[in-house]
Amino acid sequence: MELHSNAPTGPIETAWDRHRFEMKLVNPANKRKFTVIVVGTGLAGASAAATMGELGYNVKAFCFQDSARRAHSIAAQGGINAAKNYQGDGDSIYRLFYDTVKGGDFRSRERNVYRLAQVSVSIIDQAVAQGVPFAREYGGLLANRSFGGAQVSRTFYARGQTGQQLLLGAYQALARQVGLGQVELHERTEMLELILVDGRARGVITRNLKTGQIDTHTADAVVLATGGYGNVYFLSTNAKGSNGSAAWRAHRKGALFANPCYTQIHPTCLPVHGEGQSKLTLMSESLRNDGRVWVPKNAADVTKRPQDIPEADRDYYLERKYPAFGNLVPRDIAARNAKDVCDEGRGVGYPPEREAVYLDFADAINRLGQHTIEERYGNLFEMYERITDEDPYKTPMKIYPAVHYTMGGLWVDYNLQSNIPGLFVAGEANFSDHGANRLGASALMQGLADGYFVLPYTIGNYLARAGRDLAKTPVAEDHADARSAKAEAEGRLKAFLDNPGSHGPDHFHRRLGKLMWEYVGMARDKAGLQKAIEEIPKLREEFHAKVRVPGSGASFNQTLEKANRVADFMELGELMARDALAREESAGGHFRVEYQTEEGEARRNDDDFAHVAAWEWTGKGNTPTRHVEDLDFEYVKLSQRSYK
C-alpha cells in the first residue's frame, strides 16, 4: 500500500492558505443535506462538532461520559502553546514549528506541524472571545510561562486547570448548537463498531451505557476524536474510562495504525504507592518553571529527610547535564534521566523501589515569596497535599515518570482523513503532529487546531467532492453493511456475557499493564520486546477463556464495558511491541537501549527510519503488515537533538 500525505507543495508559509483556496466548497443551502458523526467530545471533538454545526451541517456527537464537559481534556493542567510572541522574546510561528519538529525528534510531517503553529495564534483569540479566563499580568495583558523544549515563553494558562477552562469554552459553543438543533448530543453512549459501505465510513454502532441498547447511526462522514491509548499500561495519568477502542475498531476495519510504539512518559507525576493502585496522578510540567529537580549525590542519603541533606550533597542533575534548558528539557529526556538516577540507587520514593526524585520549590519561594507561588500553582499544591499529606511549600514534592500521552494513532493525511474515505481522525487519536515526543502544552493546541480550524475545511472538501457518490448510496439503519456491523458488536458482547470465567477484566488488564511497563516502557530492548510479543498472546488467550462478566447486557454494566476495552488493549499492546521491535533506533519516547549515544541520549537511524510506520490489520491471529510513509525534511535540518 502506497501512502500519500496529500500535503500541498510550494512555500510552507503559504501552503495551508493555498490548500484551503483549492478546496471545493459546499453551498450553505446544501450543508443541511449532510450529516457528520463526531465520536468524542473533548477539545478536538467538541470544537469540531460545534464548528460543523455552526456551519449548518447536521451533527451527531457521542461521548461515554455523563456529560460532554467530563471528557479527559478537562484534566490538562499546565497550558496551551501559541506563537503570539507577547513577551517579545524571539518567538514566531517558525520557531514554534521548529521547536515542535525538533522536540518530536524529527519524526513528524513538516507541513502538518507548520500548519499547527500557524493556526495556534487563532486559537487564543477564539478562547478569549469565549471567555476562557487565561492568566493575565498586572496591566491586564495575557500572561505566558515556559514549558519544556523551548527557550521562549509561549504557554498561555489558566492557573493549573487550563484544559478544564478551554473545554468549558468549547462546550459552550457545542451546547449552543445543541440548543439550536444543529447538534444531536448522545451522552453515556460508546462506539462499538464502524460502518463501512462501499469502502467509505458511513456510520457507527453504539451502545447506551445506561440501558444497554445498541443502536445504528448513519452519516456521510465520521470523525473520531477519542483520545489516546495510554491506559494499555493500566497505570497511567489518564482517566480510568479513557480507552483506545474506537480507534481500534476502525483499525480492524482497515484504518492504518501509525507509530503505535510512540508513547509519552511524563516526568512529573506522583510515584506508584502500593499494588492496589488503579491510576496515577499528573503534576503539571509547568511546575518545572520554578521547581528544581534533584536527588542526593550519595545513595546512602536517600533515607534522610530532604531538609537534612546539605546543598553540596544534592545533585540537580538536569541543570548539571543540560545547562541551556535546565529543568525545562523535553519530557522524554527528563523522564529517562529520572529513571537513570533511580536505577543508580539514588531514588527517594517509597521503599523498597524508591522510585522518585525531588521537585523542590524552596529557591522559588525565597526569591518570589510564597504568595506568588500560590497564585501560579495553588491548586496543584493543594492537590498534592491532599493525596500525599505532605506540604510542598515546606518539603519538596516527590515525583516519578508515568504514562501520560500517546503520539501514535490512526494514520491520517494532511486533511486529517484516514486511508478509509470519509473517516477523519482528530486530536490525540491521530498520529500527525508530535512525532516521537510531544512538547508540553501542545496537546490542547493540536486538539483545538484540528477541531476549530482544520476539519471544518477538509470535511467540507470531502463532502463537496464525494457528495454525488454519497447520494447514490443512501445508508439507512437496515442497510446490509449496517446490520452486519451491529451483529458483529452484539456477538462480541454476548461472548463476554456467556463466558464461564473466574476473573474480572481488571485482573487481566493489570497483568497486561505490568508486561507493557516492563518490556515496552521507558527503556526497551530486542529481547524484552520479543518476550512481550511472546507473552501477550498467551495472556490474551487466557483472558478470553477466563474473563467473567456478571450481569446483563441490557442494563448498566461497567464490567462489560471494561471487558470490551481490555480485549482491544490486548491486541493493541502486541502491536505496540511489534512496532517498537521493528523500529531499530531510539527516537523521542521510543528508547531502545541498544541505540544510544555515548552520553546516553537517543540515537536515531535517519537512513532507515525517517518514516512513519503504518500498520494494517490482516485478521485475527495474523501478523500485521507494516507500511511506510517517508518523511521529508526541507525546512528543518536533521540533526542530533541537543538541549545542553
Give residue-wise pLDDT tens across range 228-237. Answer: 999 999 999 9
Cα–Cα distance measured from residue 336 to residue 293, given in angstroms and rounded to the nearest whole number: 13
Cα–Cα distance measured from residue 36 to residue 438, given in angstroms and rounded to the nearest whole number: 29
319 shares its domain with 428: no
468 found inside a domain: yes
pLDDT at 132: 97
Closest CA to 287 of 377, 414, 349: 377
245 shares its domain with 177: yes
355 shares its domain with 445: no
- Cβ partners under 8 Å of residue 195, min gap 6: 201, 202, 203, 204, 205, 216, 218, 475, 479, 481, 482, 485
What torsion do the CA atoms of 221, 226, 230, 234 make, to the nearest 10 degrees? Answer: -120
Cell of residue 335, nine digits: 523522564
489 found inside a domain: no
Across the strands, what pairs with 61?
38, 185
pLDDT at 291 over 90: yes
Band (pLDDT 50/70/90 cuts) for residue 577 is: very high
pLDDT at 296: 98
DSSP letters, 538-607, are HHHHHHHHHB---S-TTS--HHHHHHHHHHHHHHHHHHHHHHHHH--S-BTTB-BTTSB-TTS-B---HH
Cα–Cα distance measured from residue 341 to residue 248, given in angstroms and rounded to the nearest whole number: 36
pLDDT at 472: 87
* Residue 320 host element (H or E): helix 317-321
Residue 133 DSSP SS3: coil
For residue 589, the enclosing domain spans 499-603
425 shares its domain with 555: no
Query: Which CATH number characterizes residue 217's domain?
Result: 3.50.50.60
> CA angle, 585 as apex, 581 and 588 as ends, to 5°?
105
Query: Which CATH number characterizes residue 274's domain?
Result: 3.90.700.10
Q: What is the CA radius of gyration of the chain?
A: 24
Closest CA to 643 of 278, 216, 151: 151
391 shares its domain with 512: no
556 shares its domain with 583: yes
325 shares its domain with 247: no
Band (pLDDT 50/70/90 cuts) for residue 525 is: very high
612 found inside a domain: no
pLDDT at 451: 98
Of 403, 432, 449, the one marking the end of a domain is 403
pLDDT at 339: 96
270 shares its domain with 375: yes
Give residue-wise pLDDT tens across range 254-265. Answer: 999 999 999 999
pLDDT at 288: 95
Give residue-wise pLDDT tens across range 356-401. Answer: 999 999 999 999 999 999 999 999 999 999 999 999 999 999 999 9
138 shares its domain with 215: yes
88 shares its domain with 229: yes
Q: How far is C-alpha 409 from the chain's CA centre?
A: 9
Cα–Cα distance measured from residue 489 to residue 3, given in angstroms and rounded to the nearest whole number: 30
Total domain count, the chain: 3
In the set 202, 331, 540, 592, the catalytic residue is 331
Closest CA to 505 of 237, 243, 208: 243
130 shares its domain with 244: yes
Of 418, 453, 472, the one marking the end of a domain is 472
- Cβ partners under 8 Å of residue 638, min gap 6: 106, 606, 610
- What are the CA-CA distances from residue 319 to residues 203, 293, 326 (Å)? 52, 8, 4
Single-letter code of the amino acid located at 475: V
* Residue 38 host element (H or E): strand 35-39
**What is the per-residue burial (b if ≥16 Cβ within 10 Å, else e) of 618-643?**
eeeeeebeebebebeeebbeeeebeb
609 found inside a domain: no
Single-letter code of the amino acid located at 173: A
Cα–Cα distance measured from residue 570 to residue 480, given in angstroms and rounded to the nearest whole number: 30
Give residue-wise pLDDT tens across range 413-472. Answer: 999 999 999 999 999 999 989 999 999 999 999 999 999 999 999 999 999 999 999 988
43 found inside a domain: yes
Tell me what percent of the residues of the chain surpass a pLDDT of 90: 97
493 found inside a domain: no
Query: Which CATH number characterizes residue 552's domain?
Result: 1.20.58.100
Asked about 438 being catalytic, the answer comes back as: no
Closest CA to 247 of 270, 224, 230, 267: 224
Mean pLDDT, the chain, whole residue set: 96
- Cβ partners under 8 Å of residue 15, min gap 6: 7, 8, 9, 111, 114, 115
CB 76 within 8 A of CB 162: yes
Give residue-wise pLDDT tens across range 6-38. Answer: 999 999 999 999 999 999 999 999 999 999 999
429 found inside a domain: yes
Closest CA to 48 of 223, 185, 227: 223
299 shares its domain with 284: yes
pTM of the shown model: 0.97
**What is the per-residue burial (b if ≥16 Cβ within 10 Å, else e) of 478-500?**
ebebbeebbeebbeebeebbebe
Pairing between strand 221-224 and 35-39?
parallel
617 found inside a domain: no
